[in-house]
Structure 1
């Protein structure tokens, strides 16, 4: 493609695609090696990310548990692939495979709302305006991003914080703007330069957060039963 740097094409991620070798066995071996290397890289990153964020997960889960117990609701949002991850996270809380459901919605799923807001007030406000209409003090806002810098997400987090929501940011690289923002109560950072690896690790972080909230809910129920 015109203007494409040597490091931006598919060959940068998958060198075997640019190979001049025509032997199918060699090409298949290169493909298998590439898959193994990426799988190993992903496993290592996910393990270190969970270790690095263990304390943050526990603290955030306790806060989410308290807010859910008091009638709080969860709102998630993101762009591109992160919008899909945000929807997956909201669905995990709202319709879990086991345990207690919690009220959770993704702000990325209604095409009519997104396109209307993008057209009428600007794309930077597509999530903030939804929070203005739906959120209340005691709720939770979760922004998912690989860069941590997207303007529509930072604007929404600022609006959420001003409205008394507990705010969580998922980011990659060095955390971007999320990592140092006063509008982000908790920031989970996946320290990688690969968008693919970042999103894989973020998916696991989201699952671990949900699992920790479920544990908190069971613990609170057990303690309440003992008091009675």
Structure 2
């Protein structure tokens, strides 16, 4: 969620690394948001806790996972699971899915802009 090392370190030290994303989601997420959790194994506790918090906040949750999906896939509203244990393969497909989601969002926003101009 964050590239701010200070926030990541502070939350980890003051609370627990397991809830580092949950605390950020608690502060930032709302009912119409979409929160995406990404974990190669589906077992990353910090990502799972972030998804759980997002659901409590009313956000729609998406999981990107590998293997059998793990707990992350079970907690999310929808999950994209790469049925493999090959880490580079899983991460490459997650990257592709991320690009596709961005493309879909861009198309939807562009269509909305065109409608509003008409």
Q: TM-score, normalised by structure 1?
A: 0.49
- SS of 1:126's equivalent in the other structure is helix
2:92 is matched with which residue?
Answer: 200
Q: Does 1:222 align with 2:98?
A: no
Taking the TM superposition and a 5 Å limit, the aligned residue runs for 1:134-173 are: 134-173=28-67
1:109 is matched with which residue?
Answer: 3
- SS of 1:160's equivalent in the other structure is helix
Query: Gapped runs of 5+ residues in structure 1?
Result: 1-106
| Alpha-carbon distance in structure 2 between the residues aligned to 1:196 and 1:213 | 26
Aligned counterpart for 1:188 among listed residues 80, 90, 114? 80
Q: Does 1:125 align with 2:22?
A: no
Q: Is the 8 A contact 2:22 2:51 kept in 1?
A: yes
Runs of 4+ in 1 over 6 A off after TM superposition: none
Q: Determine which structure has the larger strand proportion and give its number.
A: 2
Deviations 1:81-101 (A, max 9, x none): xxxxxxxxxxxxxxxxxxxxx
Q: Does 1:175 align with 2:73?
A: no
Bigger-Rg structure (1/2): 1
- SS of 2:32's equivalent in the other structure is coil
Query: Gapped runs of 5+ residues in structure 2?
Result: none
RMSD after superposition: 1.4
- SS of 2:40's equivalent in the other structure is coil
- SS of 1:171's equivalent in the other structure is strand
Aligned length: 118
Q: Is the 8 A contact 2:47 2:72 kept in 1?
A: no
- SS of 1:209's equivalent in the other structure is helix
